[in-house]
Amino acid sequence: MSIDRRNFLKLLGFGTVALGLQPTRAIASIDDSKIKRPDSYGVLCDVTRCVGCRSCEEACNTVNSLPAPEKPFDDYSVFEEKRRPTSKAFTVVNRYETSKGTIFRKVQCNHCLEPACATACLVHAYQKMPEGSVVWDEKVCIGCRYCMHACPFYAPAFEYESPVPRIRKCTLCYNRIHEGKLPGCVEACPMEALIFGKRSDLIKIAHERIRKNPDRYLEHIYGELEAGGTSWLYLSAVPFNEVGLNTTVGTYPMAEYTRGFLSSVPLVLVLWPALLGSFYAFTKRNEEVKKQGNEKHRKEAHSQEKGEN
Amino acid sequence: MKPIGVRVSMAILVIAAIVVTILWAKAWGESQKRDDGIPETVTIDVLSKKYLPVNFPHQSHAEMSGDCVTCHDHSSAGKTSACSKCHSIKPSLKKDDVPSLKAAYHLQCVECHRQQDIELSRCTYCHTKRQASSKVIKKGSEK
Per-residue model confidence as pLDDT tens digits over B45-97 = 655 577 888 888 989 998 888 888 888 888 776 778 888 888 888 888 888 88
Other beta carbons within 10 angstroms of residue A289's beta carbon come to 10
Compare all CA atoms of chain A with the CA of B105 and give the residue at the minimum distance.
A191
Q: Is A49 on the interface with B (CB under 8 A)?
A: yes
- Range name among A195-199, B66-70, B75-79, B100-104 with the lowest pLDDT average: B75-79
- The reply to whether A103 touches chain B by the CB within 8 Å rule is no
Q: Which helix (H) or strand (E) holds A117?
A: helix A116-120
Do residue A209 and residue B103 have CB atoms under 8 angstroms apart?
no
* Full residue range of the structural domain in which residue B22 is found: 1-33
In this prediction, residue A244 has a pLDDT band, given cuts at 50, 70 and 90, of very high
Looking at the fold, whether B50 and B88 belong to one and the same domain comes out as: yes
**What sign has the CA pseudo-torsion B80, B84, B86, B87?**
positive
Residue B29 and residue B12 share a domain: yes
- Which pLDDT does position A1 carry in this prediction? 43
Q: Is A44 helix (H, G, I), strand (E, B) or coil?
A: strand
Please answer yes or no on whether B103 and A190 come within 8 Å at the CB atom. Answer: yes
pLDDT value at A3 more than 80: no
CA distance A235 to chain B (A): 14
Residue B76 placed within a domain:
yes
Q: How far is A227 from chain B (nearest CA, A)?
A: 24
For position B34, what pLDDT does the model report? 43
- For residue B142, tell me if it sits in a domain: no
Q: What distance in Å separates the CA atoms of residue A235 and residue A233, rounded to the nearest whole number?
A: 7
Could B110 and A51 be called an inter-chain contact, meaning their C-beta atoms sit closer than 8 Å? Answer: yes
Query: Which pTM value belongs to this model?
Result: 0.72
Q: Are residues B65 and B119 in the same domain?
A: yes
The answer on B120 and B76 residing in a single domain is yes
Tell me which residue in B96, B97, B123 faces A53 most closely, judged by beta carbons: B123
Set of chain A residues whose Cβ sits within 8 Å of the Cβ of B118: 102
Type and span of the H or E element at A41: strand A41-46
Query: Domain for residue B25, yes or no?
Result: yes
* Of B95, B121, B122, Cβ closest to residue A197: B95
Do B116 and B46 share a structural domain? yes
**A53 contacts in chain B (CB < 8 Å):** 122-123
Please check whether residue A191 touches B, CB under 8 A. yes
Reported confidence tier of residue A308, pLDDT bands at 50, 70, 90: low
DSSP state of B68: G
What is the spatial distance between Cα A286 and Cα A11, in angstroms, rounded to a whole number?
13
Of A74, A192, A197, which has the smallest distance from its Cβ to B99's Cβ? A192
Angle at which helix A272-308 crosses helix A5-28, to 10 degrees, equals: 160
The minimum CA-CA distance between B96 and chain A, rounded to whole Å, is 7
Evaluated on CA atoms A287, A293, A297, A302, the torsion sign reads positive
Task: Work out the pLDDT band at A50, boundaries 50, 70, 90.
Answer: very high
Residue A309, pLDDT above cutoff 70: no
Asked if residue B133 is part of any domain, the answer here is no
**A60-107 pLDDT tens trace:** 999 999 999 999 998 999 999 999 999 999 999 999 999 999 999 999
B118–A208 CB contact, under 8 Å: no
Contact A41, A113 (CB under 8 A): no
The phi, psi pair for B90, rounded to 5°, reads -90, 125
Cross-chain CB nearest to B94 (options A187, A191, A197): A197
Helix axes A5-28, A254-266, angle to 10 degrees: 150
Q: Of A175, A131, A138, nearest to A156 (Cα)?
A: A138
Q: Please give the Cα distance from A96 to A81 (Å, whole number).
A: 10
Q: Would you place residue A33 in the very low, low, confident or very high pLDDT band (cuts 50, 70, 90)?
A: very low
Q: Which long-range contacts (CB under 8 A, 24 or more apart) does A162-167 make?
A: A166/A87, A166/A138, A166/A141, A167/A125, A167/A136, A167/A141, A167/A143
A191 touches B106 (CB < 8 A)? yes
Residues B46 and B102 in one domain: yes
Quick one: average pLDDT of A216-220? 95
The enclosing domain of B122 has a CATH number of 3.90.10
Q: Cα–Cα distance between B89 and B95 in angstroms, integer?
A: 16
- Per-residue model confidence (pLDDT) at position B14: 80
Identify from A50, A179, A189, A192 which residue to disrupt to test chain B contact, counting B C-beta atoms within 10 A and taking the largest count.
A192
CA atoms within 13 A on the CB side of A186: 25
Residues B62 and B121 in one domain: yes
Residue B121: list chain A partners with CB under 8 A: 51
B72 and B93 housed in the same domain: yes
Cβ pair A190:B95 closer than 8 A: no
Number of domains in chain B: 2
- Do the beta carbons of residue B108 and residue B125 sit within 8 Å? no
Which tops the pLDDT comparison, A291 or A133? A133
Query: Is position B87 within any domain?
Result: yes
